[in-house]
Amino acid sequence: MRVVFVLIAALFAGEASVAAEPDSAGPPQPNAPARHPYPKQKHVRASPITDHFALRGTFFAAQLNTTLHLDSSVTAPGTLLNAEHDLGLKGHLNQGRMELIFRLHERHRLRVDYFGSDRDGDRAIGQNILFGGHTFMSGDLVQSDLQYSMLGFTYTYSVIRTERFELGAGLGVHLLQADARGTDVTLQQNAESSGVGAFPTPALDGTWAISQRFAWTARAQYLSATVHGITGALGDYHTDLQYRWTPNFEIGLGYEEIRAQLSVQRSSTTPGGFTLSVKGPELFLRASF
């Protein structure tokens, strides 16, 4: 009986010892800090500097000024015309435009934009006009059509990039197409000319995140060059102030100016030239993420 009491006492003593000891051997360890299953992400302010993609729809109230001439030969220049004044083409154009921006990495961006105009007019001309070897007489009714389109691809690398400021430099390529046609309804004769080509331009692109809601952007592209008797120049300038209504939606006001010039002075093709100036205010909506 005494042996039974000893065994029972030993059993209770062993259970008490197990309850008093920690789960692991050794001295007590300080409490370890709680660990998160994923690292905490730093809050990123939504702005054009942090957008990975942006789609902009723009209402462009453009004012246009166009001069052109189509020569009979290098030594027989055609009449220099103002398309809006002499031929009756519209000097104002209200149109929609689209722009896409892709941020490939933190410092690499690609912008795709397009501008196009298709204008026609008819007017009794007030002077004799020599256009592409045809003479249109004063008083004749002339119908004219002028089409111009420009598709641009611009890559920039951000040499400076902070939370509030970004400055990029790069190169753009614009695909240009122009078609001009004039018909003398009175004499039943017509003349036309067209051209297409690609034109590169160095580019600068800057963004200033003024506050959590407002941002200002500006860009400029320009190049003038002469190759084998063909002189071309292209400038594209833009600035805007935008308000970020929600993290993924902005509205803004801007100003755009495009200047294009082409002069052909070689006998292997039809010589001539034109200059085009397009400028005006913009109202746009921008979706981004």
Q: Which residue type occupies 1?
A: M
pLDDT for 224-262, tens place per residue? 999 888 899 999 999 999 999 999 999 999 999 999 999
| pLDDT confidence of residue 271 | 85
Go through the domains of the chain in sequence order and give each one's CATH number.
53-288 (2.40.128.90)
> CB within 8 A of 171, min separation 6: which ones?
154, 155, 200, 201, 202, 203
Closest CA to 124 of 105, 110, 143, 107: 143
* Residue 30: pLDDT band with limits 50, 70, 90: low
**SS3 for 73?**
strand
pLDDT for 191-214, tens place per residue? 888 888 899 999 999 999 999 999
Do residues 236 and 258 lie in contact, with contact meaning Cβ atoms separated by under 8 Å? yes
Q: Pull the structure tokens for residue 243.
A: 């308000």
Mean of the pLDDT values across residues 209-220?
97
The Cα angle at residue 177 between residues 194 and 280, in degrees rounded to 5: 120
What is the C-alpha to C-alpha distance for residues 78 and 80, in angstroms, rounded to an integer?
6
Q: Pull the structure tokens for residue 236.
A: 């594209």
Alpha carbon of residue 236 to chain centroid: 10
Query: Would you say residue 22 has pLDDT above 50?
Result: no
In which region does residue 88 sit, left (phi positive, over 0), alpha (psi from -120 to 50) or beta (all else)? Answer: left
pTM beyond cutoff 0.85: no
Q: Please report where in the chains the tokens 């209200």 appear, as a residue.
A: 94
Query: Would you say residue 17 has pLDDT above 70?
Result: no
Least confident of 73-82, 94-103, 175-184: 73-82
